[in-house]
Amino acid sequence: MTEIERKFLVLNDTYKTEAFAQKRITQGYLNSEPERTVRVRTKADKGYLTIKGESNASGTTRMEWETEITLADAKQLLAICEKGIIDKTRYEVKAGNHTFEVDEFYGDNAGLVIAEVELTDENEAFEKPEWLGQEVTGNERYYNAYLSQKPFTTWK
């Protein structure tokens, strides 16, 4: 139930040609407080309910619990979520022994592309693709819960 991940901005769209999978994702938050976010997500034809705890000081590690729910249930829960639904396409890209999840955002977050890599240890080494940009791990502005409330297109 522990998630360890690092986040990066993306420099260009060459990740798209390297992707082995892609799925459209819609997600909303029943609770977007950093101490405990409760997320509802549809990914392709499935639904998910996820609870995340507060991140540690470095922003790399936090408690995460997720369960699959029906697509119909997910759609009903999305209807009662807080304002600010996230719409994105997730590309999965293999780099060395890891898979990067690259999210291209739409709507109020259009123009933002973030890559995440999940690790088994905070200090685990990983291959960095050439399209990987500045690290934003721990910067709350790049958390989806934050983006749902304060979208990228509204940043100064």
DSSP 100-132: EEEEEE-GGGTT-EEEEEE-SSTT------TTE
Whole-number average pLDDT of the chain: 96
CATH code, domain carrying 102: 2.40.320.10
Domain count, the chain: 1
Q: What is the signed CA dihedral for 152, 136, 96, 110, rounded to 10 degrees?
A: 0
Whole-prediction pTM: 0.94
Q: Is 97 left (phi over 0), alpha (psi -120 to 50) or beta?
A: alpha
Could you list the active site residues? 29
Q: Which domain holds residue 6?
A: 2-154
The pLDDT of residue 72:
97
Residue 1 has pLDDT above 90, yes or no: no
pLDDT in tens, 45-60: 999 999 999 998 888 9
Cα 17 to its chain centre, rounded Å, is: 20
